[in-house]
C-alpha cells in the first residue's frame, strides 16, 4: 500500500512531497472497523490523527442537558477531528464514531506535529485546513440553529443534485449530516417524494423540482 500517495489525497497533505511524508508513512496504520465503532471519546487525549479512506465518521459533542450535537461528518479523504493533535496532550473536542464500515489511516500525533511544523508548505496547508474547518462549523451551526429540517434537507439535495441523480448515503449518515435522526429524515424524504420534488429508486435520488426545493430553503 502506497501510504504517501494515500496521504496526498487528503487536502492537508496534498502539496507535500513523498519524501516529506516518509516519516508519517513509516508510522501510519490502516484500520478497518465496523459501523458504530468509537475511534475516540470526547475528552480523551488526542494522541493520533484519523484520516478516512472509505466510509464515514461522525464527530459529535455532548451539550448541556445531554443533547448530542453533530459537528461534522468526515467522508473519504477527509480528516476526522484534527486540530487538537497539533497541541501537546490536548483532549479530543468530539467523540468520533463510524457510521458505516470504515477504513481509516491513523497517524501518531507526535509524528504529525514534527512533520508539519518542519515544513513551511505543510504549515501553510494546516492553517488553510483549520480556517476551512472553522468556516464549515460556523455555517453548520447557523443552519442547525436557524433552519428547520426540511430546509436543511432541501439544501442538501440541491447541493448534491446531478442530472442522472446521485446515491444517497445511509440514513444514519444523512441524519448525522443534517443534525437529526434516521427515522425523521426518512419521513421527510418520503414527504418530498410524495410531493414530486424528488424521485427515488433504491438509494439513488434525482431532484425533479429544484424550484420548489429552493422555495423550501428560503
Domain ranges of the chain: 3-140, 147-217
| Residue 5 host element (H or E) | helix 3-8
| Threshold 0.85, pTM exceeds | no
| DSSP three-state, residue 162 | coil
Per 3-state DSSP, what percentage of the chain is helix, strand, and coil (rounded to 5)? 45, 25, 30
Q: Binning pLDDT at 50, 70 and 90, where does residue 37 land?
A: very high
Q: What is the DSSP string of 24-82?
A: HHHH-EEEEE-TT-EEE-TTSB--EEEEEEES-EEEEEE-GGG-EEEEEEE-TT-EES-
The pLDDT confidence band at residue 198, using thresholds 50, 70 and 90, is very high
Q: Which three cell numbers stand for residue 210?
A: 429544484
DSSP one-letter code for 166: E
Phi-psi region of 65 (alpha: psi -120 to 50; beta: other; left: phi over 0): left
Which CATH number does 3-140 carry?
Answer: 2.60.120.10
Instruction: List, for residues 73-109, the tens digit of each pLDDT value.
Output: 888 998 887 788 888 888 998 899 998 899 999 999 9
- Domain 3-140 and domain 147-217 have a common topology: no
Question: Confidence band (pLDDT; 50, 70, 90) for 64?
Answer: low
Is the CATH number of domain 147-217 1.10.10.10? yes
Beta bridge partners of 33: 102
Amino acid at each position: 500500500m502506497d501510504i504517501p500517495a494515500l496521504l496526498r489525497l487528503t487536502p492537508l497533505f496534498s502539496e507535500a512531497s513523498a519524501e516529506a511524508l516518509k516519516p508519517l508513512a513509516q508510522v501510519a496504520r490502516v484500520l478497518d472497523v465496523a459501523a458504530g465503532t468509537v475511534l475516540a471519546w470526547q475528552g480523551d487525549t488526542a494522541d493520533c490523527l484519523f484520516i478516512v479512506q472509505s466510509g464515514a465518521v461522525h464527530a459529535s459533542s455532548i451539550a448541556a442537558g445531554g443533547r448530542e450535537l453533530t459537528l461534522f461528518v468526515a467522508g473519504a479523504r477527509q480528516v476526522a477531528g484534527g486540530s487538537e493533535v497539533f497541541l501537546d496532550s490536548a483532549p479530543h473536542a468530539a467523540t468520533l464514531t463510524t457510521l458505516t464500515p470504515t477504513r481509516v489511516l491513523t497517524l501518531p500525533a507526535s509524528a504529525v506535529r514534527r512533520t508539519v511544523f518542519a515544513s513551511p508548505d505543510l504549515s501553510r496547508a494546516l492553517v488553510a485546513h483549520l480556517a476551512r474547518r472553522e468556516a464549515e462549523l460556523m455555517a453548520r451551526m447557523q443552519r442547525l440553529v436557524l433552519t428547520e429540517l426540511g430546509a436543511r434537507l432541501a439544501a442538501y439535495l440541491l447541493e448534491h443534485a446531478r442530472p442522472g441523480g446521485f446515491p444517497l448515503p445511509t440514513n444514519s449518515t444523512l441524519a448525522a449530516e443534517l443534525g437529526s435522526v434516521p427515522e425523521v429524515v426518512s419521513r421527510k424524504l418520503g414527504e418530498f417524494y410524495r410531493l414530486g420534488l424528488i424521485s427515488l429508486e433504491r438509494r439513488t435520488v434525482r431532484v425533479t423540482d429544484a424550484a420548489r426545493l429552493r422555495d423550501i430553503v428560503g
